[in-house]
Amino acid sequence: MTHRRRYKQTKPFQDRLFDFLAESRQRADEAPDGIEREKIIKKIESAKTAARIDAWANSPKMQRPK
């Protein structure tokens, strides 16, 4: 049986996500038009969606099932 590699995250998910977004935007601005830039832009849009889902899931309106 294989052993899962686990480690403790030192930064919250939102911080890591926003760092990724900032870095990716910079890479997209520097990249020439083409396939690579489109891939970066798709990753940025996926990260934005993840941020929205995280904000929705952690909103005060969401309650645990009783």
Whole-number percent of the chain with pLDDT over 70: 91
Average pLDDT of the residues of the chain: 89
| Residue 64 scores a pLDDT above 70 | no
* pLDDT, position 11: 92
**Model pTM?**
0.75
User: Rounded to whole angstroms, what are the CA distances from 34 to 17, 20, 21, 23, 28?
Assistant: 24, 21, 19, 18, 10
Number of Cβ within a 10 Å radius of residue 2:
4
What's the number of CA atoms in the CB half-sphere (13 Å) around residue 66? 1
Model pLDDT, residue 35: 94
Q: How confident is the model at residue 58 (pLDDT cuts 50, 70, 90)?
A: confident
